[in-house]
Amino acid sequence: MQKNRIKRIIHRSHYRGFKEADLILGGFAKAHACELTKDELGQFETLMDEKDHDIYDWISGAQNVPTRHNTAFFAKLKNYKPKI
């Protein structure tokens, strides 16, 4: 069951429709999804319900991260550097 969830997260994170979000979220998912806890996977899924431009702005620091997403998981994501 967990394996299918991870596959869905990786796929969903790669096909966002905003290239920058695809690179960051998709790259992070591919590199780290198997290492995430169930709670972190849930936080990732919840984050992906947000608009791509908002996520990008939170990661880049253009906007403050909302309290609901200001977690240790988001800090991991924010520290991820995609290979371009």
Per-residue pLDDT reduced to its tens digit, 20-56: 999 999 999 999 999 999 999 999 999 999 999 999 9
Handedness of CA 11, 12, 16, 17 (dihedral sign): positive
Contact at 8 Å (CB) between 22 and 15?
yes
Residue 1 has pLDDT above 80, yes or no: no
For the question of whether the overall pTM of this predicted structure is more than 0.85, the answer is yes
**C-alpha to C-alpha distance for 55 and 49, rounded to whole angstroms:** 10
Per-residue pLDDT reduced to its tens digit, 5-24: 999 999 999 998 899 999 99
pLDDT of 17 reads 87
Give the length of the chain. 84
